[in-house]
Amino acid sequence: MKEPKTYFIRTYGCQMNELDTEVMRGQLEKRGLKWLENEAEVDLLIFNTCSIRDLAERKVMGKLGLLAKKKNSDQIVGVTGCMANAKKESLFKKMPHVHFVLGTNDLHTLNDTLDTLLATGSKGIGIQKHFTEELDYIGAKRDDKLKAYISIIRGCNKYCTYCIVPYTRGPEVSRAPEDIIQECKILASKGYKEITLLGQNVNSYGKDNASFNCLFHDLLYKLDAIDGIERIRFMTSHPVDITRQLMEAIRDLPSLCEFIHFPVQSGSSRILKKMHRIYTLEQYLEKVALLKEIVPNAALGTDIIVGFPTETHEDFMETYKVLEHIEYSVAFLFAYSERKGTPATRFKDTIPEEVKQERLQMLIQLQDGIYKKQRQALIGSTQEVLVERASTRNPHLLKGRTRCWKNAIFPGDASLIGSLASIYVDDFTHQTLVGRKVEEPLSLIS
Ligand code: SAH
Ligand code: SF4
Ligand code: F3S
């Protein structure tokens, strides 16, 4: 086996995995490897995987299976990410052509693992349960020059009964505030304008380490003070940990976008209990009402699971009504997928696939109507847009997002890229607001 010269990483799953890929890219480029987007030709091929639903795993297993048939014998193949933690050594048995398996808590050992593999030919495995903060975020290779993901807390202590994440990523570990601030300052000095703070549950930030003396809302005040960072977003939150202080921070901090992911999962308190979400629907709705009182223009996002074991038509209709009532501006809708090793397996996957799909389709249709209505309501308003790039089809059209995450397109000169523009909304297409740049001050509708 010889030192690889080119590499490619195929990324699945959430934003944390995307960031992990950027960190691995930094490590590999430091070693002298070059990115080559060609799975068949590349010397080192890594699958950075996700285990959240069965489909996510099947996609990777299918790819690995195909590769076994056609692979050139010199290619090094690695599996990283949550599926590495979930499947462990069994991946080598099923896929003998895989050379190394590195879980989410072992990515810092990537170059050492490659060294050992090249020196001895022995396969590498790292699947620690606990995360330790040893990743070189400053060296991460980011393609985007305006927006960056920042890891602030890893792991999850919530143990929702359907979810594999606490078993793959392990318990919560917060990153030191000074490290986060330093990274953000470096990014600001390089011209980055927007940061998205990442964690499986960002609102738990700081609770695992009293010596930081810094909870999530405290961190937000520190980051808002950094010159050059115009927008701060965060993903994702557990409703139980969304505090009044956080809501006030959204109201008071200029850079903090008025968008909050507030995942309800189900509208039935009976199902929420079985999911171990630790709130009832009433408590959830009370919190949403408080948010609307403190930040009237806040936009909400959600995740929903339909077809959780024992979900009746009535339970499902409660979920339907919540979607109808709250009118989320982003909704990720999923059919329940049984995950081996999670507590919900004891309830048995009782809802037939066709029923899950029917319920899913009903929510998709409902939500599509809501999206349309929301875009319609924005016509005639002026929105702050971070200008990100020119359209690939027409270089005279610029693209960006509003503070509340809506895509916007408008005519303009490429010199505007990287700046905040006031866009008057004239129209909308399927997923995008269509407008024109104006000089007038921004209205606060978003
Ligand atoms: N930590 C985040 C999200 C983690 S996973 C949070 O709690 O909000 C993203 C979403 O995937 C979850 O919110 C949930 O809606 C969905 N999900 C997780 N496990 C699932 C499963 N077994 N089947 C279907 N959807 C699932
Ligand atoms: Fe999974 Fe629940 Fe943790 Fe989110 S809060 S990662 S859904 S266990
Ligand atoms: Fe998937 Fe792991 Fe993220 S299971 S959604 S990659 S935390």
- Mean per-residue pLDDT, 133-142: 96
Is residue 48 within 6 Å of ligand 3 at its C-beta? no
Distance CA 247, CA 291 (A): 6
Report the percent of the chain where pLDDT is more than 70.
98
What is the reported pLDDT for 81? Answer: 97
Confidence of residue 150 (pLDDT cuts 50, 70, 90): very high
State the pairing for strand pair 194-198/259-261: unpaired
Confidence of residue 188 (pLDDT cuts 50, 70, 90): very high
Q: Looking at the CA of residue 49, tell me the nearest atom of ligand 3.
A: 6
What is the reported pLDDT for 440? Answer: 64
What is the reported pLDDT for 366? Answer: 98
Average pLDDT, the chain: 95
Distance CA 359, CA 349 (A): 15
Confidence of residue 348 (pLDDT cuts 50, 70, 90): confident
- Mean per-residue pLDDT, 207-214: 97
Q: Looking at the CA of residue 12, tell me the nearest atom of ligand 3.
A: 6
What is the reported pLDDT for 430? Answer: 80
For residue 446, is pLDDT > 50? no
For residue 71, is pLDDT > 70? no
For residue 290, is pLDDT > 80? yes
For residue 70, is pLDDT > 80? no
What is the reported pLDDT for 431? Answer: 85
Q: Looking at the CA of residue 238, tell me the nearest atom of ligand 2.
A: 5
Per-residue pLDDT tens digits for 111-124? 999 999 999 999 99
Per-residue pLDDT tens digits for 217-276? 999 999 999 999 999 999 999 999 999 999 999 999 999 999 999 999 999 999 999 999
DSSP assignment of 126-138, as one string? Answer: E--SS--S---ST
Is residue 82 within 6 Å of ligand 3 at its C-beta? yes
Per-residue pLDDT tens digits for 379-438? 999 999 999 999 988 989 999 999 999 999 999 999 999 999 999 999 999 889 999 999
DSSP assignment of 321-370, as one string? Answer: HHHHHH--SEEEEEE----TTSGGGGG---S-HHHHHHHHHHHHHHHHHH
Confidence of residue 349 (pLDDT cuts 50, 70, 90): confident
Give ∠ CA 273-279-284 in degrees, rounded to 5: 130
Per-residue pLDDT tens digits for 72-89? 678 999 999 999 999 999
Distance CA 304, CA 324 (A): 13
Is residue 166 within 6 Å of ligand 2 at its C-beta? yes
Q: Looking at the CA of residue 265, tell me the nearest atom of ligand 2.
A: 7
What is the reported pLDDT for 22? Answer: 98
Distance CA 325, CA 344 (A): 28
Residue with CA closest to ligand 1 atom 14: 303
Is residue 81 within 6 Å of ligand 3 at its C-beta? yes
